[in-house]
Amino acid sequence: MNRETDIVAYLKSNLKDRIIGREIYYFESVSSTMDVARELADRGAAEGTAVIAGIQKTGRGRLGRSWLTPKGSLAVSIILKPPQERLRYLPAISSLAVLQAIKNFGIAARIKWPNDVLIEGRKVSGILIENAMEAETIRYSIVGIGINVNFNSAEYPEIARISTGIAEHLKAEISVAEVAFHLLSELEVLYIKTKDMGRVTDNWLNNMETIGKRIRVNTGNAIKDGIAESVNAEGNLILRLDDGSAVEIIAGDVTLVKD
């Protein structure tokens, strides 16, 4: 079987009785899976609908950045409709799902707040969460996950120092369909667990390399240096500044600073 072209068949026969992946759309090439998922959600697509693309021409990342999706990558956007009070858990469960999916291939990975996943300090996955609100109420949320699977960072000198792919660490190419299967299965389990988030949050914090480290946060309009102290109930980062005061970071780009 050519698993990359039969990714939908592979997922449908392996993901059973699911919320996540109950409808799966696959495109060889697309602008961004976020846009396709949004269109589907606006037309009433069910919760759990997943949009997967082999290539994204204009993949996007957090903070207005672009996201590279060359052939051999996994790009997926999932439509979720969580109760409003569970929306804040989506960064934790999606980054943990990526972490577990990668661990299934015998590779250790860590989370960098809020939801980057790193192998040996280099980024292997990024997550973008976009919410559609009506007044103050959530209509749906789209969780977009990009994983560098058969991605050879050496081919992309501009990001080679900070990015990596799973295959680089296995010294062999792997099936994108299998990565997608593990990812969607793990996300399903964790999504159901948002009903009782205590243990999931502990697991998230235990896998986060950021906590306790000296970091620099770029919030888009300010740069803040300090020690990453903890993450609060909303999933926001608590940063202890050098003057002893603490600030809450809602969104930003974190880099570790060597002491």
Does residue 127 belong to the site contacting ligand BTN (CB under 6 A)?
Answer: yes
Size of the site for ligand BTN (CB under 6 A): 21
**Binder among 82, 144, 235, 252 for ligand BTN (CB under 6 A):** 144
In contact, 90 and 78? CB cutoff 8 Å: no
Q: To the nearest whole angstrom, how small is the minimum distance from the Cβ of residue 80 to ligand BTN?
A: 14
Are 10 and 3 spatial neighbours (Cβ–Cβ below 8 Å)? yes
Contact 203, 189 (CB under 8 A): no
Q: Which of 56, 94, 194, 207 forms a contact with ligand BTN (CB under 6 A)?
A: 56
Please pick, from the candidates 20, 79, 98, 128, the single residue that binds ligand BTN as defined by CB under 6 A. Answer: 128
Task: Report 183-242 residues binding ligand BTN (CB under 6 A).
Answer: none
Instruction: Return the number of the residue (19 or 180) whose C-beta is nearest ligand BTN.
Output: 180
Rounded to whole angstroms, the Cα distance separating 148 from 51 reads: 17
Binding of ligand BTN at residue 70 (CB under 6 A)? no
Which CB atom, from 128 or from 231, has the smaller least distance to ligand BTN?
128
Question: Residues in the chain, how many?
Answer: 259
Among 15, 19, 26, 32, binds ligand BTN (CB under 6 A): 32
Q: Is 77 in the site for ligand BTN (CB under 6 A)?
A: yes
Query: Does residue 249 contact residue 236 with C-beta atoms inside 8 Å?
Result: yes
Q: Of the listed pieces 78-86, 97-105, 123-131, 201-209, which binds ligand BTN according to CB under 6 A?
A: 123-131
Cβ closest to ligand BTN, residue 67 vs residue 140: 67
- Whether 190 and 204 have beta carbons less than 8 Å apart is answered as no
| Residues 6 or more apart in contact with residue 183 via CB below 8 angstroms | 74, 76, 97, 98, 101, 145, 147
Considering only the stretches 5-13, 59-67, 179-187, 203-211, report the one whose residues sit in contact with ligand BTN under the rule CB under 6 A: 59-67
Alpha helices by DSSP H, listed for 65-209, are 90-103, 166-170, 176-193, 198-206
Of 53, 42, 162, 151, nearest to 112 (Cα)? 162
User: Which residue has the CB atom at the shortest distance from ligand BTN?
Assistant: 126
137-147/24-30 β-pairing: unpaired
Q: Is 65 in the site for ligand BTN (CB under 6 A)?
A: yes
Of the residues 18, 60, 112, 169, which one makes contact with ligand BTN according to CB under 6 A = 60
Do 241 and 222 meet the contact criterion of CB atoms below 8 Å apart? no
Chain contacts with ligand BTN (rule: CB under 6 A)? 32-34, 56, 59-62, 65, 67, 69, 75-77, 116, 126-128, 144-146
